[in-house]
């Protein structure tokens, strides 16, 4: 690994935390993941080096930050003199943010062997990958950034969906963020609220590791095939105009004008119909929308670019609602919201996938859900049957390259797939 020697007084990056946050999981999606509590005592280094420090004659010690600790207390507990402590605290002012020190996190000291051990190095972690090494061997203190090697492994997973994609992937010991990433890829083709027992998938994805065994998150989906309702949906990862997108077998972009649903991974409780028994009014009437049951506060996203043309409260029905006009043909409506997103107002232009409000139970409602409606030329249509044209197909001059990438992906999926048992999960990996 390359070592970058830097005087402490020239370091101007902010130290994230003593234990740091992971790098990938949660690139996954959209939502920020909880900061992991990492036990650095499990880190194993080979040879006579520990995080790029020669430890032939040094002992490696693990320490835990105590409740109420600050840098002065930590350094004093290590046996450093008040003069040494003051010198190190001042030298690392721009390196370590005292507000990020949290009880329970670990750090290292490398000390001389003997009856009166001396601290030669103190090592804190910016992230599980990046470590700041404070060198006390010679005054004044110096520091450098050591970066662990991140390995990339392409992995393969296949299986049938028996309940939900999230549950099936999680139950097999695979990072469930993969389900969110797959849902993003197929947001325009597959309604994940209506997954059927015979649906299945194959996916190639790249995962990051440190120390050869510690997963750091999913970096990318490299290609997939999802079988839904008897139809096969290939997703070919291909770069054009310096942007990597997913395309179908014909080179049409999987990204369409509208998302399939305004929520993630929740169930449908009522569909589009001209005669539904209303649970509050106790009579039959038309229900020209789709009800998505979800907990109060669940984010609601606009299914496409457009302008907010109405925001208000409908006392006799929809409660808090929004209407968005997407073009001269399509308008969508979102009802029973608990509240609106803070920046949403009439006249505002919104982008596809932007959070516009949160699920609630306002108006005539027996429980928290979203009543979602689509209008074409002013007439209500079934949102679950709405079709929208693809955008940005593979350019003619790149067709040969695309066909090569597509064929290589499909051949690899055929090679890796289970020959007979299509309901079993198979996780295979190889180092890139």
Return the structure tokens found at 352.
Answer: 């596809």
**CA 237 to chain centroid:** 18
Place of tokens 């402490």: 8
CB 280 within 8 A of CB 303: no
**CA 156 to chain centroid:** 19
- Phi-psi group of 79: left, alpha or beta (phi > 0 → left; psi -120 to 50 → alpha; rest → beta): left
For the ranges 43-57, 216-230, 250-264, 283-297, the lowest mean pLDDT is seen at 43-57
- Of 394, 392, 390, give the one whose Cα is nearest residue 403: 394
**pLDDT, tens only, 1-29:** 433 333 333 322 222 322 333 333 323 33
Q: Looking at the predicted structure, is the pLDDT value of residue 336 above 60? A: yes
Residue spans of alpha helices (H) in 131-230: 165-171, 177-185
CB 240: neighbour CB atoms within 10 A? Answer: 18
**pLDDT, tens only, 134-180:** 888 888 777 787 888 889 999 999 988 887 888 889 888 899 899 98
pLDDT at position 87, please?
82
**CA 421 to chain centroid:** 31
CB 93: neighbour CB atoms within 10 A? Answer: 13
pLDDT at position 286, please?
59
pLDDT at position 4, please?
38
Torsion of the alpha carbons at 310, 312, 315 and 318, rounded to the nearest 10: 60
pLDDT at position 7, please?
34
Return the structure tokens found at 272.
Answer: 């589009």
Res. 45 pLDDT band, cuts 50 70 90:
very low
Label residue 159 exposed, middle or buried (CB < 10 Å: 0-12, 13-18, 19+): buried
Place of tokens 């390196």: 95
pLDDT mean across residues, the chain: 79
pLDDT (average), residues 325-345: 91
In a 13 Å sphere around the CA of 218, the CA atoms on its Cβ side amount to: 23
pLDDT at position 335, please?
93
Cis peptide before 140 (omega within 30 of 0): yes
CA-angle at 300, arms to 269 and 313, nearest 5°: 85
Return the structure tokens found at 53.
Answer: 């420090």
Return the structure tokens found at 79.
Answer: 């046996």
316 vs 214 pLDDT, higher one: 214
The secondary structure element, H or E, covering residue 218 is: strand 214-228
Res. 324 pLDDT band, cuts 50 70 90:
very high
Return the structure tokens found at 296.
Answer: 């109060």
Torsion of the alpha carbons at 172, 173, 175 and 181, rounded to the nearest 10: -10
The secondary structure element, H or E, covering residue 399 is: helix 399-416
**pLDDT, tens only, 291-323:** 898 899 999 999 999 999 999 998 778 899 999
- Of 134, 152, 151, give the one whose Cα is nearest residue 143: 134
334 vs 376 pLDDT, higher one: 334
390 vs 152 pLDDT, higher one: 152
* Per-residue b or e along 400-425, where b marks 16 or more CB atoms closer than 10 Å to that residue's CB: eebeebbeebbebbeeeeeeeeeeeb
CA distance 338 to 363: 10
> Hey, which bits of 229-305 come out as E strands?
231-240, 243-247, 267-270, 273-277, 284-287, 290-293, 299-301
């Amino acid at each position: 690994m390359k070592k970058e020697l830097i005087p402490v007084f020239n370091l101007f990056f902010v130290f994230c935390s003593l234990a740091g946050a992971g790098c990938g999981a949660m690139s996954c999606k959209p939502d920020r993941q909880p900061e992991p509590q990492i036990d650095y005592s499990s880190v194993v280094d080979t040879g006579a080096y520990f995080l790029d420090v020669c430890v032939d004659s040094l002992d490696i010690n693990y320490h835990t930050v105590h409740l109420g600790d600050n840098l002065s207390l930590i350094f004093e507990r290590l046996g450093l003199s008040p003069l040494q402590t003051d010198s190190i605290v001042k030298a690392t002012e721009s390196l370590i943010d005292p507000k990020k020190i949290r009880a329970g996190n670990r750090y290292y000291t490398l000390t001389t062997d003997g009856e009166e051990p001396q601290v030669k190095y103190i090592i804190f972690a910016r992230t599980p990958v990046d470590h700041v090494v404070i060198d006390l061997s010679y005054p004044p203190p110096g520091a450098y950034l050591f970066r662990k090697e991140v390995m990339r492994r392409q992995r393969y997973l296949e299986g049938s969906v028996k309940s939900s994609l999230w549950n099936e992937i999680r139950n097999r010991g695979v990072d469930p963020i993969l389900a969110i990433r797959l849902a993003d890829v197929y947001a325009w083709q597959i309604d994940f609220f209506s997954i059927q027992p015979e649906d299945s998938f194959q996916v190639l994805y790249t995962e990051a590791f440190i120390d050869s065994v510690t997963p750091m998150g999913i970096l990318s989906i490299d290609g997939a095939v999802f079988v839904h309702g008897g139809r096969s949906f290939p997703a070919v990862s291909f770069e054009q105009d310096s942007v990597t997108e997913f395309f179908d077998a014909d080179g049409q972009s999987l990204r369409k004008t509208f998302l399939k649903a305004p929520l993630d991974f929740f169930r449908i409780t009522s569909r589009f119909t001209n005669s539904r028994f209303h649970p509050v009014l106790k009579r039959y009437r038309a229900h020209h929308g789709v009800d998505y049951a979800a907990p109060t506060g669940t984010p609601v996203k606009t299914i496409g670019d457009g302008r907010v043309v109405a925001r208000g409260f409908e006392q006799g029905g929809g409660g808090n609602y929004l209407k968005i006009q997407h073009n001269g043909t399509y308008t969508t409506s979102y009802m029973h919201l608990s509240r609106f997103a803070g920046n949403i107002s009439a006249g505002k232009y919104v982008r596809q996938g932007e959070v516009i409000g949160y699920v609630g139970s306002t108006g005539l409602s027996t429980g928290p859900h979203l009543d979602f409606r689509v209008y074409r030329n002013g007439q209500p249509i079934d949102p679950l049957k709405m079709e929208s044209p693809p955008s940005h197909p593979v350019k003619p001059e790149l067709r040969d390259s695309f066909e090569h990438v597509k064929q290589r992906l499909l051949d690899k999926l055929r090679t890796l797939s289970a020959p007979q048992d299509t309901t079993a999960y198979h996780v295979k990996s190889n180092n890139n």
